[in-house]
Structure 1
Amino acid sequence: MNAHDTFLARHSFIELTARERAQALLDPGTFRELLGPFDRLESPWLAMQNVVCQADDGVVIARGLLAGEPAVIAAIEPAFQGGSIGEVSGAKIAAALEMALGEFEAGRAIRPVVLFETGGVRLQEANLGLAAIAEIQAAIMALRSHVPVVGVIGGMVGCFGGMSLAAALCTELVMTRQARLGMNGPEVIEQEAGIEELDSGDRRLIWSMIGGEERVVVGLADALVEDDTDQVRAAVLAAFERGVPKRHRSEDVDGFIARLAQVNPDAIDPDTLRNLWGTS
């Protein structure tokens, strides 16, 4: 098969909805949704602000099998409010992770996966969303001592705000080239500091700074994959096969402080960061 045929044979992960992404990762015929649209667990706050609600509040929770092993997937829908996290959507993710923790405490193994696609906290529910994100982070921390917690950032929204910290806490983080990861999104930086600080329309610059390839090279993510569902699934399975590491990346506080000390904020660019922090 030549390069052209290989490209045509790919099945885009990015183009799938959150529900389709979860279905694509799970073994065929095993997808079962928890707290789905017919349960109508939606935000009680958006309608008060004249925002149309969504019956699943933009998060899909699925049980099923992953390579024959029980799994739970929390998938964020980027098409609803930019994947923003509010009280309900955040609670669904936290509850899914806490359910997985309960399975381990009962002696039953399960594989947890979080499909990130979010701009961070939902501004209409700011404090409630922040509290939910804190619960998500706490659940990841508790769960990852039992089993790898695997995160995936597909694109094109990326992963920003408090949820970028949740992603960083995952045992392993998988990114496509189109994905982006950062504390503040380019549009927010431009809005707050001006285009002289950062031109969010400069796509080449943005992806060279916070895109999937850059984040993997500098060690802030673990696996780089093409926009291909099979590659994403293979990377997720590989993370579970490696098991729980002796030390999680986020525990290396001294290492991060030492790396940051190498950076001159007045003279830094993506290539310089690669040279300083590059892992490949």
Structure 2
Amino acid sequence: MIDWKELEAKSFYGASARERARGIVDEGTFTELAGPADRMSSPHLPVLGEAVEWDDGCVTGVGLIGKHPVFVISQEGRFIGGAVGEVHGAKMVGTFVLARQMYERIKEEYPDELAERLPAVVISFETGGVRLHEANAGLLAHAEVMDQIQETKGKFPVISLIGSKVGCFGGMGFVAAATDVIVMSDLGRLGLTGPEVIEQEMGKDEFDSADRSLVYRTTGGKHKYIMRDANYLVEDTLGDFHDQLAAIMEAPYDEIVKCRRIGSEELVDEQLALAELSVEMAPKDARDVWAYFGNEDVEQIPEMTTAEFLAVAQRR
């Protein structure tokens, strides 16, 4: 196990789910729950002749950021692309249940310190969505996680971290959109339908999934930041994600929830206005949208460092 300083300097993009889970909370505070020693694997994969993992591609646990208990869900893209099945989904749901129990306990035992001890659920996404091997169980898991997010409203924040190799696609893209805050790196990707699926269904002329520049212009962190689909853009290190999380947790809950993208009539109106704008503009490329919102030198945006980009970016 690498030491803390090395871990914090490590690329979020290249880190494993377990490294991300450990690195996004304070040093030495992470405790894994339902880990490999508990041997919780999918009951469906062996029937199909598929290999299993003893954590089912989902690392769950709890740590601290300051005095805040942080319940962590971290997906592993190296196991079936981080796809969600029955056990993977159950671990996600169970983490939310524990977080809500902790919230009620803090509220009862430390009523005057609730703000400084407020818990959070943090999801480090790396997934293409539903695991097709166990599609019904995976779809149900998505719905149950969405229900759990609704149960947190008015209580404590749910925060998404997106910056790993697989990105966040499929139904989990909906889940991320439903959380209170999204933190991405330039290397993060977020969307509903993955590039390969678009190409498969619509053809290479419609979307070339091998065109890395196109993929990142459409689903990458900079584009999502300009469109306000991502609230924060950070450098690609575990330390930077950790520091941004710490800053978020220090903000009042009422300020944190202002980062939401859905969940109110006002936000629905904003999304409808964007849909109308897309019809009116008929953009051929994300760069057209960047220019519309006031960005200059749009051809250079993909080449900018995160710091350079944040210094000049004009957002929706």
Pick from 220, 244, 257: which aligns with 2:272?
257
Matches within 5 A, 1:57-72: 57-72=56-71
Pick from 171, 188, 200: which aligns with 1:191?
200
Aligned-pair identity (%): 38
1:273, distance to aligned residue in structure 2 (A): 2.3
Residues 68 and 249, structure 2, Cα contact 8 Å, conserved in 1: no
1:92, distance to aligned residue in structure 2 (A): 0.5
Provide the secondary structure at the position in 2 that maps to 1:43: coil
Q: Within 1, Cα distance between the matches of 2:105 and 2:26?
A: 24
Are residues 1:273 and 2:309 paired? no
Provide the secondary structure at the position in 2 that maps to 1:54: coil
Aligned to 1:172: 181
Aligned to 1:201: 210
The runs of 4+ residues in structure 1 deviating greater than 6 Å are none
Q: Deviations over 1:143-183 (max 9, x none)?
A: 14212211101121000011001101111101111111010
TM-score by length of 1: 0.92
Q: Within 1, Cα distance between the matches of 2:57 and 2:164?
A: 16
Are residues 1:135 and 2:144 paired? yes
1:276, distance to aligned residue in structure 2 (A): 4.6
The structure whose residues are more often helix, as a share, is 2
Provide the secondary structure at the position in 1 that maps to 2:27: coil
- The size of the alignment, in residue pairs, is 272
Residues 14 and 156, structure 1, Cα contact 8 Å, conserved in 2: yes
Structure 1 residue identity aligned to 2:222: E
5+ residue gaps, structure 1: 1-8
Matches within 5 A, 1:205-216: 205-216=214-225
Q: Within 1, Cα distance between the matches of 2:27 and 2:57?
A: 23
Residues 14 and 165, structure 2, Cα contact 8 Å, conserved in 1: no
Q: Within 1, Cα distance between the matches of 2:150 and 2:250?
A: 19
Q: Within 2, Cα distance between the matches of 1:42 and 1:144?
A: 31
Matches within 5 A, 1:207-226: 207-226=216-235
Provide the secondary structure at the position in 1 that maps to 2:106: coil
Structure 2 residue identity aligned to 1:270: A
Aligned to 2:23: 24
Residues 13 and 227, structure 1, Cα contact 8 Å, conserved in 2: yes
Aligned to 2:88: 89
Provide the secondary structure at the position in 2 that maps to 1:249: coil
Q: Within 2, Cα distance between the matches of 1:155 and 1:126?
A: 23
Q: Within 1, Cα distance between the matches of 2:139 and 2:51?
A: 21
Pick from 122, 132, 136: which aligns with 2:131?
122
Aligned to 2:105: 106
1:67, distance to aligned residue in structure 2 (A): 2.3
Provide the secondary structure at the position in 2 that maps to 1:261: helix
TM-score by length of 2: 0.82
Aligned to 1:43: 42
Provide the secondary structure at the position in 1 that maps to 2:124: strand
Worse-matched range after superposition: 199-208 or 234-243: 234-243
5+ residue gaps, structure 2: 1-7, 108-117, 294-313
1:228, distance to aligned residue in structure 2 (A): 1.1
1:218, distance to aligned residue in structure 2 (A): 0.7
Q: Within 1, Cα distance between the matches of 2:68 and 2:45?
A: 37
Residues 144 and 170, structure 1, Cα contact 8 Å, conserved in 2: no
Residues 119 and 157, structure 2, Cα contact 8 Å, conserved in 1: no
Residues 119 and 161, structure 1, Cα contact 8 Å, conserved in 2: yes
Worse-matched range after superposition: 217-226 or 60-69: 60-69
Across the aligned residues of Structure 1 and Structure 2, the Cα RMSD in angstroms comes to 1.7
